[in-house]
Amino acid sequence: MSPATHLPTAAQTAHPDGRVELAAGVALTDPRFTNEDLVPVPVARRRWTTYNFLALWVGMAHNIPSWTLASGLVALGMDWKQAVLTIALANVIVLVPMLLNGHAGTKYGIPFPVLARASFGLRGANLPALIRAAVACAWFGIQSWIGGEGIFLLAGKLLGHGWQTASAIGGFPWTQWLSFLLFCALEIAIIVRGMETLRRFENWAAPFVIAGALALLAWIAVKAGGFGPLLDQPSKLGWGSDFWKVFFPSLMGMIGFWSTLSLNIPDFTRFGGSQQAQIRGQALGLPTTMTLFALLSVLVTSGSQAVYGTPIWDPIALAAKMDSVAGTLFALLVVLVATLSVNIAANVVSPAYDLSNLLPRIISFRTGALIACAVGIVIFPWKLVADPHIYIFTWLGVVGGLLGTVAGILVADYWIIRRTHLELDQLYTPDGRYWYAAGWNWRAVAAFVVGGLLAVGGSYGGPFPSGGVIGFLQPLADYGWAVGLASSLVLYVALTRLAPPVERAAPTAYEPATTES
């Protein structure tokens, strides 16, 4: 029997709307591969609507790094139209694997690391999970540093000059370190309360952040008396060969910005009330919000150039120029909510599940979240965003290439090999259908190694040699995400067809519930 023809078993129940859950009375019992955070979400608890997914994306897209994406592209020589176009196209492209991987979460109620078990094996799934967790921890640190910086700058506006000129530790005032730790504490306070609290937080955070961004636009428009200088700035690259040399690596970098969520989106869609809800919510929320937010950032920055004589891309620095105490407090609250909403959803949920998948009997969702927070604090996040070349080409480009490789394998396995058919109990069963060889599927590992090498082996610039780490692969480096996704997808399908895994008897990792007489 080929993997594509697996039919539902007595261990799971399929509902008319296509969603599947464990059958009544089935309890997963192997503590090496399951805990209460990793088990499939029962259909009765899958309640996220189109608005919930839309609010999730609005809350995540409206953050300081996404606001400054356009500034990074303008710094590389694009005009505002080229920058907004690049961001819009990138988010339409990354939406495709987002929806494809999200389908499995809604259908089966499983998180990303459990979905990865179908292709990588029960133990092998820790490879992509830990890579995703490492990236999320780094992003958590970046966002937390930016959120702490918002507290530091805007609090200094309220508390006086002494706050910002306090004695330095490690190159920064101790008050800035305190602001950083305070922001981390706020995030932890929310995440330890679980996913339902996160859903409620995102529901009200999304419209609040939109209102705050529009208020900032109205404020700068009044002071500027209109927009002009930045909007009239011509492109330094034109539309010729100079532009395309920058466009493609920039496009891959912009895709890399959300390539993280294109993997672990099942962590959220597992709570979806229907496939229609997650598809509509994400399609309405991601590309439209990111494009409009990029345009908004350009307009506000243009106004700042008209008012202050120089473009101010950082909304925190711009808000700090407000004369009103009430306005400064409002700006501080908007910055906090915007950064909290993206950092918790995008960068804490994933490593919490990923680390829990590594040691289910020891690490719960909450413990994993705390570990992620700790790692994010000690990786020097302020250095990752100091230079737009390093930020876009090195950080986002390399991350995008590696994660695109994993996405290609997941899409190939779920859609091409299995035709969306999974056996839920076997995803938690050692020596079962997804055990392969000692818990590892060598086909997925080989596809990941080769695809990852093709995607990022030619990386150049910044910390990498100018001729590329592997010289003959340098031409592929500018297309890292696309190269990684396409090559791993094709190779995984080819290896699975040429050397199909040996079918084994399917033991169970569950026990039927006993009935009392």
Name which of 447, 428, 515 is nearest 485 in CA terms. 447
Cβ count within 10 A of residue 117: 29
Helix ranges restricted to H, 192-240: 195-224
* DSSP helix/strand/coil, 231: coil
Say if residue 507's pLDDT is above 70. Answer: no
Q: Tell me the DSSP string of 67-121.
A: HTHHHHHHHTT--HHHHHHHHHHHHHHHHHHHHHHHHHHHHH---HHHHHHHHH-
In sequence order, what are the beta bridge partners of 168? Answer: 173
* Residues 489/96/483/449 CA torsion (nearest 10 deg): -50
Q: Which range, 58-62, 157-161, 251-255, 485-489, is most confident? A: 485-489
Say if residue 210's pLDDT is above 90. Answer: no
Q: How far apart are CA 50 and CA 195, in angstroms?
A: 17
The CATH class of the 37-498 domain is mainly alpha
pLDDT score recorded for residue 393: 54
pLDDT score recorded for residue 196: 67
Task: State the average pLDDT over residues 244-263.
Answer: 82
Q: Residues 39, 270: contact at Cβ < 8 Å?
A: no
Q: Residues 148, 416: contact at Cβ < 8 Å?
A: no
Enter the tokens of residue 379: 């990786």
Confidence of residue 5 (pLDDT cuts 50, 70, 90): very low
Q: How far apart are CA 137 and CA 174, in angstroms?
A: 23
Cβ count within 10 A of residue 126: 22
Cβ count within 10 A of residue 432: 21
pLDDT score recorded for residue 229: 62
Confidence of residue 45 (pLDDT cuts 50, 70, 90): very high
Q: Show me where the domains of the chain are located.
A: 37-498
Enter the tokens of residue 370: 């705390």
Confidence of residue 500 (pLDDT cuts 50, 70, 90): very high
pLDDT score recorded for residue 513: 39
Q: Report the percentage of the chain scoring pLDDT > 90.
A: 31
Cβ count within 10 A of residue 92: 16
User: pLDDT by residue (tens digit) across 348-381?
Assistant: 877 888 888 888 888 887 888 888 888 887 777 7
Q: How far apart are CA 167 and CA 169, in angstroms?
A: 7
* Residues 314/316/320/322 CA torsion (nearest 10 deg): 80
Query: In the block, which residue shows the tokens 């791993």?
Result: 488
Enter the tokens of residue 499: 């050397």
Q: What is the largest CA-CA distance in the chain?
A: 82
Task: State the average pLDDT over residues 422-426.
Answer: 94
Q: Residues 108, 430: contact at Cβ < 8 Å?
A: no
Enter the tokens of residue 278: 């997650």
Enter the tokens of residue 276: 């229609």
Query: In the block, which residue shows the tokens 């696309």?
Result: 482
Say if residue 6's pLDDT is above 50. Answer: no
Task: State the average pLDDT over residues 417-430.
Answer: 94
Write phi, then psi, for 440 (nearest 5 degrees): -125, 135
User: pLDDT by residue (tens digit) across 443-469?
Assistant: 999 999 999 999 989 887 767 787 888
